[in-house]
A and B are shown apart, each in its own frame.
Chain A
């Protein structure tokens, strides 16, 4: 349907600004149609539908039944929901940790050493291995009997006896956050490395002449120079932290952990919608998540634009 020459094909001849089409043309809309269709069907329509479902009782099989604000009232009194909300906010600790460690790693690998590419690639491996493979690996790392963590800490005398890491409500969330950080550092470090390499060498020379030590050099030059990357990583990694699911699913073996200690917003959404078929109630959780994300992003959206678009 797009094969015929578009109307403005010949129009460029002679006109001084050929890119500005004066006549109305369908071409740009046709180019955008497939992408917009997918966006409408799989993002915009679902948002509208979720808003509607959140006011209904819906088990996916029988048609939704309007119940007004009942789901939201129920949410306000649901301790698991509050725990999920709290856990999701705690998970945001991953963001500053990731930023600090990735910048540190970027500084370490930003030097001309033979084979440095190999090391950069090695640090990147967790980012491509997939959350499920990594999650399973970590489940066994922290296994009470065979896990490497107990296996190293007990003989070293740091633990008196093996710890049931994943059965301990206090440990589930920190272990999941640690996993997220471990898997993300190499990935974000690549972004920071590119930023470091864009900082003019003369700035560091000047700092050296002014008598800056290594730490001051990075504090006064690298950090301000990395501002666009820091903003970008802050936005991306905090949005990722708010919607964490795979790690919790695998580490707790789909249970959410003892006493729901590892339940996050998205995990609770999943359980309500797809385990218990409470699609209406789950939609209310989804709306809360959406509102939190919107508020959160509103503070950052300009920065995000600058981060993505900065040339």
Chain B
């Protein structure tokens, strides 16, 4: 918008410049700050509450935000009563395994759907497409019974990994990526006698690396934050992931706001750091997922 104004016609450009761009900039920054306040305030409040000591009011009107008697005692109390470190390790294990397997399985499936011709390709493609519509929660009743009777992984981490090593949405994203790879590149590799598997691994995967990164990041975050299925599967404290443990903590510390706040803080900080480290990839990946 700013550029649009400056290039069109000279008279307008002069007028725009005259109408002091500075005040316009200040307006936008104020608006942006106000909006980020809406996003950040609840988190900020929780973080600050986590550091409040016994002499700080958590129930006061108007609310007191800044702890005057800051302490780490809340974190220690929560840490001692719940195996937060264990939750964290479990979450990492599940998210890393799910992401690794998922990227392999979905990119393996996406390649033939994008680049090979074979009987049943359309049928398989539309069958997969149709499953996108099915709400995952309605599959959980039979999946629960499978977990107990067939796979015997109730109350263990594989129960969270195995059902998620493929996802239809990722297959579609990667299929789109593979489609953009020039056929000449594939032909050339075939001339050199590469097998399809070699071709996929050595030639195609490096070319679509940005899409793989997108798929990996979003799979990781989804797995990290998943709650419904993990809450059905995980029963013992030592097996819980962070969201399930956090829900348990909310149940244990119902009236201890400082403790709950410390628990939320410890849970949110790791994923926030992950996001801050990879924010460009997040934004670019999501933007690329739906091209206009």
- A residues within 8 Å of B by Cβ? 2-6, 8-13, 18-21, 24-25, 27-29, 31-32, 34-36, 38-39, 41-47, 49-50, 53, 60, 105, 108-113, 116-117, 119-126, 128-134, 136-141, 143, 145-146, 148, 150-152, 154-155, 182, 186-187, 190-191, 193-195, 198-199, 201, 204-205, 208-209, 214, 225-226, 228-229, 232, 239, 242-243, 245-246, 249-250, 253, 266, 269-270, 273-274, 279, 282-283, 286-287, 289-290, 293-294, 297, 301, 304-305, 307-311
Contact = CB atoms under 8 A, between A and B. Distances in A.
Given A29-B118, A198-B291, A228-B292, A45 B142 contact: yes
Given A154-B61, A205-B7, A286 B116 contact: no
A41 B118 CA distance: 24
A283 B227 CA distance: 20
Contact of A152 (B12, B62, B286): B62
Nearest to B218: A128
A209 B8 contact: yes
Given A108-B31, A125-B272, A290-B138, A151 B8 contact: no
B18 interface: no
A42 B132 CA distance: 13
Interface centre among A8, A11, A19, A279 (most CB of B within 10 A): A19
A47 B197 CA distance: 33
B208 interface: no
Nearest to B190: A12
A105 B8 CA distance: 26
Contacts, number: 335
Interface string B136-148: 1111111111101
A148 B40 CA distance: 13
A194 B287 contact: yes
Interface string B1-15: 111110111001000
B89 interface: no
Contacts of A28: 112, 116, 118, 121
Interface string B170-195: 01100010000001001100110111
B252 interface: no
B139 A148 contact: no
Interface in B86-145: 105-106, 108-109, 111-113, 115-119, 121, 124, 127-129, 131-145
Nearest to B146: A41
17 contacts: A27-B112, A36-B124, A38-B163, A39-B166, A121-B283, A124-B275, A124-B282, A128-B272, A129-B225, A132-B227, A143-B257, A208-B8, A209-B8, A253-B251, A266-B137, A279-B145, A293-B134
Contacts of A44: 131
Interface residues of B, number: 118
B141 A129 contact: no
Highest count of chain B CB atoms <10 Å: which of A21, A41, A209, A242: A41
B287 A191 contact: yes
Given A46-B138, A110-B1, A124-B282, 13 more contacts: A19-B116, A19-B186, A31-B200, A38-B166, A45-B142, A108-B31, A119-B35, A131-B225, A132-B246, A140-B261, A209-B9, A305-B129, A308-B172
Contacts of A154: 61
Contact of B292 (A198, A243, A246): A198
B227 A136 contact: no
B273 to A, nearest CB: 11
A31 B3 CA distance: 49
Contacts of B163: 38, 42
B131 A39 contact: yes
Contacts of B205: none
Contacts of B186: 19
B283 A38 contact: no
A195 B109 contact: no
A20 B31 CA distance: 56
Q: Which residue among B39, B119, B280 has the maximum number of chain A CB atoms within 10 Å of its CB? A: B39
| Nearest 6 CB-CB pairings of A with B | A194-B287, A28-B112, A35-B109, A151-B63, A46-B139, A286-B138
Q: Of A50, A128, A253, which is in contact with the most chain B CB atoms at under 10 Å from its CB? A: A128
A108 B29 CA distance: 10
Interface of B: 1-5, 7-9, 12, 25, 28-29, 31-32, 35-36, 38-43, 45-46, 58-63, 105-106, 108-109, 111-113, 115-119, 121, 124, 127-129, 131-146, 148, 162-163, 165-166, 168, 171-172, 176, 183, 186-187, 190-191, 193-198, 200, 221, 224-225, 227-228, 232, 242-243, 246-247, 250-251, 257, 260-261, 264, 267-268, 271-272, 274-276, 279-280, 282-283, 286-292
Contact of B250 (A123, A126, A250, A290): A250
Contacts of B162: 38
Contacts of A152: 62-63
A151 B63 CA distance: 5
B264 A133 contact: yes
Contacts of B246: 132-133, 136
A191 B290 contact: yes
A11, A46, A226: residue with the most chain B Cβ atoms closer than 10 Å: A46
A34 B250 contact: no
Given A136-B250, A151-B61, A131 B118 contact: no
